[in-house]
Amino acid sequence: PRTHDVTQRLSWETQAPLTVRPSEFKPFPAETDWKVERERMKSICLQCHSQAWTDDHFSNLDRVVFNYNEIYFKPVKILIDSLYEEGLLSRQDYFDEDLEWEFYELWHHEGRRARMGAAMMAPDYAWWHGFYELKHRFNHIFKAATDLRKKGKGHIHEAFPGKYQKQ
């Protein structure tokens, strides 16, 4: 069926920090079954592409999602959470410490480009603007966390947008 609902036919929510199925996306949970939506999307692909090509594309997308979630997002999330628990990062203001920015960039920029690049068959975005940069950011975050643990205290940026605005 024709629709302007761009969320139809989605089997993954790739804009979320952790990629989840549409029904698991807490802000706007879908009331559909991702398997049904994937078959609908495949029917669109099959108008031009072979069954093998279409199946391979979605198999590759699923592997990209798995790799992003398991290799990049979850380990960094565990690391960041542990730094909060250790008192090395402050929960008082978000984005007032470098590692908070780095974590945001990891999932919001490189992570999204990797996942959406794979979903949209854009290998340059999936790889060079996605996973290649994701790996650099991942390594930087772990090095910065090691340095933070050695120093015992991180730098809190006193000036950042909105902090000193009069209410």
DSSP states along 72-105: IIHHHHHHHHHHHHTTSS-SSSTTSBHHHHHHHH
Four-residue CA torsion sign, 102, 78, 126, 48 = negative
SS3 at position 142: helix
What does the alpha-carbon distance between residue 8 and residue 38 come to, in Å, rounded to a whole number?
9
Whole-number pLDDT of residue 92? 84
Q: What confidence tier does 1 reach under pLDDT thresholds 50, 70, 90?
A: low
Q: What confidence tier does 27 reach under pLDDT thresholds 50, 70, 90?
A: confident
Residue with tokens 């992003």: 68
Q: What confidence tier does 163 reach under pLDDT thresholds 50, 70, 90?
A: low
What does the alpha-carbon distance between residue 167 and residue 62 come to, in Å, rounded to a whole number?
46
Query: In sequence order, what are the residues at sequence separation of 6 or more whose Cβ sits closer than 8 angstroms to the Cβ of residue 58?
Result: 11, 38, 42
Residue 86 has pLDDT above 80, yes or no: yes
Q: What is the CA radius of gyration of the chain?
A: 19
Whole-number pLDDT of residue 165? 55
Residue-wise pLDDT for 29-79, tens only, equals: 888 899 999 999 999 899 999 999 999 999 999 999 999 999 999 999 999
